[in-house]
Amino acid sequence: MSKTKHTEKYYETLAKSNLKFKKQIQFYEKVLRSLNAIVFVFDMNNFKMLWVNDSFKKILGYKKSTRSIPEQEIINVYHPDDRDVLREMRNYFTHNKSGTFTAIFKFRDAKNKYLWLCTAASIFRRTTDESVFEVVGVSIDFTNQFSYNKNLKLISREKLQDLNKDTIKRITPREKEILKYFANGYKTREIAAKFNLSFHTVNNHRKNILKKLKIKNLAALVNFAVENGLD
């Protein structure tokens, strides 16, 4: 084979490999774009989003940006109860060369509505001095799941109350009042002072409630009260 033909063959093979590689990249990009989860690469040192998939805009409503973002600006979109997440993530990667940082927190979207996000992140690349450089992660919106669980609990509670309504009728209005205070953590002596009753009288009420509801102890009684809306 002549040198020219050999060169042509080499470039032909290289072109086919490049085309195959390009198609693979396009396929993976399509997968990442279609995921109903935010996939991102973030520069922890400069607070800069290096790459993020289209779900960033679909879920949070923010435009994709690769600019450096002031740390406080990022912290402000976290719910006040969850503003330590970034610091915790940085500390985790400072002390762990590998592994995955996970967190569940509330994050404000472009419409000023807080969403529940579950995030997992790992080191993508470090600087030569081993400080954190780039983090790759994924965030999933769990807001609807939390709402579903909350509604399910309400439905279950209503159903339970319906099943126990005849049982609850066994106790008197005064016993219901006393039960409410037990369910809210009050001690027998505190309840006695609240109702201007003796310790002995309140203790008898407690025993009668347990007997009427066929419950063995105070802990189970408190649980029953909470589940049946008597708290």
pLDDT in tens, 118-152: 899 998 888 777 777 789 999 988 887 766 555 65
Task: Give me the pLDDT at residue 214, please.
Answer: 85
Taken in order 116, 121, 127, 132, is the CA torsion positive or negative? Answer: positive
pLDDT in tens, 157-205: 666 666 677 778 888 889 889 888 888 888 888 899 888 988 999 889 8
Residue type at position 162: D
- Phi, psi for 123 (deg, rounded to 5): -70, 130
pLDDT in tens, 67-112: 666 777 777 888 888 888 888 888 888 888 788 999 988 899 989 8
Task: Give me the pLDDT at residue 121, please.
Answer: 92
pLDDT in tens, 2-54: 556 666 676 677 677 777 767 776 666 666 666 678 888 888 888 788 888 88
CA-wise closest residue to 120 among 93, 94, 147, 95: 93
191, with CB counted inside 10 A (0-12, 13-18, 19+), is buried
Q: Which of 66 and 48 is assigned the larger pLDDT?
A: 48
CA-wise closest residue to 208 among 175, 183, 230: 175
Q: What is the mean pLDDT of the chain?
A: 80
Cα angle value 100/57/76 (rounded, 5°): 65
Task: Give me the pLDDT at residue 68, please.
Answer: 63
DSSP of the chain? --HHHHHHHHHHHHHHHHHHHHHHHHHHHHHHHHSSSEEEEEETTTTEEEEE-THHHHHH-PPP--SB--HHHHHTTB-GGGTTHHHHHHHHHHH-SSSEEEEEEEEE-TTS-EEEEEEEEEEEEE-TTS-EEEEEEEEEE-HHHHHHHHHHHHHHHHHHHHHHHHHHTTS-HHHHHHHHHHHTT--HHHHHHHHT--HHHHHHHHHHHHHHHT--SHHHHHHHHHHTT--
Q: Which two tokens stand for residue 153?
A: 């609990």
Dist CA 211 CA 179 (whole Å): 13
Task: Give me the pLDDT at residue 1, please.
Answer: 52
- Phi, psi for 94 (deg, rounded to 5): -70, -35
Distances (CA, A) of 216 to 110, 115, 207, 219: 52, 42, 10, 9
* Arithmetic mean of pLDDT, 51-60: 86
